[in-house]
Amino acid sequence: MNEFIDKWSRLYKSLNSLKSKVKNYTHLSNLNEKIKVYFSTTNWLERCFKELKDSLRIRGCLHSEDSTEKFLYLFFKDKDERYSSRKFKYSEYLMEAF
């Protein structure tokens, strides 16, 4: 990553600010290969927003900002309960990593 920044920072000066932050951006590359699978894709996030969009389509429009906040709170609370009770394939590796 540092080689990339050195090479391209001559052309793009904004990359110079990344040198001190490289560790923050490359944290996932240091994880166990089995754990990287969970972070290398956004499928779970895309699915969540697809379900949110489908729920909104069924209910129609939301009438006020309060009803929107309540709907989003209940929707994500339900997702949190579902996913927190789910056992991941490599959960022991995840616990060690975090």
> pTM, whole model, 2 decimals?
0.43
- The rounded mean pLDDT for the chain is 76
Q: Residue 89: pLDDT above 70?
A: no
Q: How many domains is the chain built from?
A: 2
Q: Which of the residue ranges 1-5, 61-65, 67-71 has the most confident prediction, judged by mean pLDDT?
A: 67-71
Report the distance separating Cα 98 and Cα 59, nearest Å: 39
Looking at the structure, tell me whether residues 61 and 89 fall in a common domain. yes
The DSSP 8-state label assigned to residue 26 in this structure reads T
pLDDT in tens, 5-37: 788 888 888 777 777 777 777 766 777 776 666
Looking at the structure, tell me whether residues 24 and 48 fall in a common domain. no
The pLDDT value given to residue 42: 64
Between 41 and 73, name the one with better pLDDT.
73
Domain with 90 in it? 33-98
Looking at the structure, tell me whether residues 52 and 97 fall in a common domain. yes
